[in-house]
A and B are shown apart, each in its own frame.
Chain A
Amino acid sequence: MIWNQKYESMDRQNLEELQVKRLQETINRLIENVPFYQQKLSALDVQAEDIKSISDLSKLPFTTKEDLRDNYPYGLFATPLKEIVRIHSSSGTTGQPTVVGYTQDDIEIWTELMARTMSCGGVSKGDIVQNAFGYGLFTGGLGIHYGAEKVGASVIPISGGNTKRQIRLMEDFGSTALMCTPSYALYIAEVAAEMGFDIKNSKLEYGIFGAEPWSDNMRREIEELLGITAIDIYGLSEIIGPGVASECEVQDGLHIFEDHFIPEIIDPETGENLGYGTKGELVFTTITKTGLPILRYRTKDISVLHQEKCSCGRTSVRMERISGRVDDMLIIRGVNVFPSQIESILLDISETKPHYQLVVEREDSLDQLEVQVEISEAIFSDEVRRLESLERKIHGEIESVLGISVNVKLVEPHTIPRSEGKAQRVVDKREL
């Protein structure tokens, strides 16, 4: 079901006109209220009237997480604090936390977008939503909560953790929808099996998962184990929280709620807009938020945008599932290479995820990428030609996907260093 037929199925021309109008309003709001943007825009000599079409977006400055940190806590708010009705904050695991503020209007927009997300996932009035996203400073819990209430579902605000209680309540209350991180969904399935609760044949029917990277294989596993339809959602607190984009029942990319956020894919090195169908860094501009409007926020997430119309009837641009982080990107002979791309090639070839490491060197001013793959019993053979053909296959797949030739080297197990459970994927020996 489509929650908001008018906006979710708007034709492109009307949508773009709406986007330009809202973007101009946002720019004016920022020039008037946020010294940070006022200075940036005046340095670039850009005013709202200069934005005549969506392609003029590239005239605007980027915003980064560092900008939010530099203006901690309230420096980028575009309204007086008394207009802010909610404050969330990202965890400060990688530095100073960032703070986001919502006006009453923002909360209403967020609620609307989460209602759309619920509808995308099949959740409606009559459903019993077990919301196992964390409630608190993290936007996941409350975002889901408001959206589920908006569509008329009964929400169990259980929050994360205490898995046995989650399963008991799921059984006793007859939950029909589960919302949490995908890895927690798998954990719930595991504990349910231990407890003897047949979750697959329970009333659970829908799952809405997000807030961490996952794969399509993992989705199939979750759907199989829990007996549900699982959709992927995307969001980040700097933009609004969950509710930036959501998969529909077609499960082929996430619909971006473009009447509120304008997406772009850029080359993370040059900042150049790459358009549709090319992998790059996802960037969002908010065009309706009033508490904390953000221009061209660099998410550092890697995705691809697709413009083709979805069979569900929504007309919005879809983004592919996040395939990695910009911070992990390597540039080899001018080609952007993400370890995640190589990882998925190896996964396809060997069926089990091998340990691997990418070693970059510069020989005679030419970048050389060596892909070291740990041999495992699953891929080992006593015949040289089989191992050589495995190397050639990996080489050929990488060449066809990335367009660069790499050296593939099979190495003995446990030779690739591991630290804190996470293997070091990239060793860059280039002296630049």
Chain B
Amino acid sequence: MKVKQISIFLENKSGRLADVTETLGSAEINIRALSIADTSDFGILRLIVDQPDKALAILKEEGFTVNETEVVAVGVDDTPGGLAKALAVLKEEEINIEYMYAFIGRASGDALVVFRVQEIERANQVLKERDFNLLSAEEVYEL
């Protein structure tokens, strides 16, 4: 299933992350998952939120540089080796993972992981074929 992810460009200066979370908080948007990738001078904040379209509009209005991409959200066994199984499938299918991160919440005992891949349709398909628990956008936003 495809889930909307919002990415935000942040300069590495104090308070910018708080600015984003405050902006979203005051619009009553809930963050479901979050990751930050950073270099020495900038960072990219990636978010899964419950109302992605609204979040995108509000952040743009506040002058942030944002974009929206689609990611795969998949539930993996919350046991040792659970994540490794999903990664093995993608490796076997030669689907390149740009990056991945874990969810804060969980769904029916599974740990949730977000994969950013170029071939999103195929990633969905191969994981589904192997009976991984793929979450729909609605399920993710409502966690």
Contact = CB atoms under 8 A, between A and B. Distances in A.
A350 to B, nearest CB: 13
Given A382-B67, A388-B39, A412 B9 contact: yes
A56 interface: no
A409 B65 contact: no
Contact of A387 (B5, B42, B66): B42
A301 to B, nearest CB: 35
Interface stretch (A137-145, A341-349, A356-364, A372-380): A372-380
A415 B37 contact: no
Nearest to B38: A384
A365 B98 CA distance: 42
Nearest to A384: B37
Interface string A119-151: 000000000000000000000000000000000
A284 B13 CA distance: 50
Nearest to B42: A410
Interface string A400-415: 0000000001111111
Interface residues of A, number: 17
B42 A383 contact: no
A415 B65 CA distance: 12
A383 B99 contact: yes
Contacts of A411: 11, 42
A388 B44 CA distance: 12
B65 A384 contact: no
B11 A412 contact: yes
9 contacts: A382-B5, A382-B69, A382-B116, A383-B44, A383-B98, A384-B38, A387-B39, A388-B39, A410-B9
B42 A415 contact: no
A133 to B, nearest CB: 41
A225 to B, nearest CB: 31
B109 interface: no
Contacts of B98: 383
B49 interface: no
Contact of B67 (A381, A410, A415): A381
Contact of A382 (B7, B10, B42, B64): B7
Given A380-B67, A382-B44, A410-B42, A375 B9 contact: yes
Interface in B74-131: 98-99, 116
Contacts of A414: 63
Contacts of A375: 9, 42, 65
B41 interface: yes
A384 B39 CA distance: 8
Contact of B41 (A377, A380, A409, A415): A409
Contacts of B11: 410-412, 415
